[in-house]
Amino acid sequence: MIESLIQTVAVYALPVLFAITLHEAAHGYVAQRFGDNTALLLGRVSMNPARHIDPVGTLLMPLVLYFATGGAFLFGYAKPVPVDFGKLRNPRWHALLVSLAGPGCNFVQALLWGVVSVLLRLGNVTEPFFLRMAAAGLLVNLVMCVFNLFPLPPLDGGRMLLCVLPPRQSRALARLEPYGFFIVMALVLTGLLGRFWLTPLMDLAYSAISVLLLPLIALVR
């Protein structure tokens, strides 16, 4: 178990750090561009992973779950980037773009890891560690992208939905935010989130990445 954990950490460490760091920094960067400097002043528009790692959510929880479930179930989170939506020049629509920035950044990273995977094959690189890391980078970023798009606050998808719903429905959904984390965890533990959200959207995301990589894949063949 310990040896397997070390191998898994070695493969996933870099992709996970990039995925978390750039996801959170992207929220802060887009908020800054649209008028809110809160994240910038707190040092959260940064490529330094230490500024985004939550000791419990990023480190302790995944380790405990790994040992408790034999690696079958992992979950974690980073420190959310603070955004004062009221300071945005157009609070409704700029908040939509701020929320989209994190998952969007993860999708771009997934595409880049896909490019790395294709280039490794193009260069006849057969070292399993690098091939597994590229696959891990693709997987981690697509999971983060799809998971965070789930339409329930405080996830990014929920915040995006708050921006596009009519005011009455938006206020009703916003009242669920204090319970959103527990609702999502219940859906994860019962398998409903995986079956009806993660699996179909992950399949769609992998298909989209494959289409975008077709020119490079053609070179490999």
In the prediction, which pLDDT does 165 show? Answer: 95
Domain parsing of the chain, residue ranges: 2-220
pLDDT (0 to 100) of residue 6: 80
What pLDDT, on the 0 to 100 scale, is given for residue 188? Answer: 85
Residues in the chain where the model's pLDDT stays below 50: none
The pLDDT of residue 189 = 84
Task: Return the pLDDT at 84.
Answer: 94
Cα–Cα dist 75/138, whole Å: 17
The pLDDT score that the predictor gives to residue 103 is: 96
Residues with Cβ < 8 Å from 142, sequence gap 6 or more?
106, 107, 110, 202, 205, 206, 209
For residue 181, the Cα-to-chain-centroid distance in whole angstroms is: 15
Q: pLDDT by residue (tens digit) across 127-178?
A: 999 999 999 999 999 999 999 999 999 999 999 999 999 999 999 999 999 9
Q: Quick one: pLDDT at residue 9? A: 82
- pLDDT for the residue numbered 66: 64
pTM, two decimals, is 0.92
* Chain-centre distance for alpha carbon 198: 12
CA atoms lying within 13 Å on the CB side of residue 210: 6
Cis check for the bond before 151: say yes or no (omega within 30 of 0).
no
* DSSP-assigned states of every residue in 112-176: HHHHHHHHHHHTT---HHHHHHHHHHHHHHHHHHHHHTSSSTTSHHHHHHHHHS-HHHHHHHHTT
pLDDT of residue 75: 66
pLDDT of 62 reads: 73
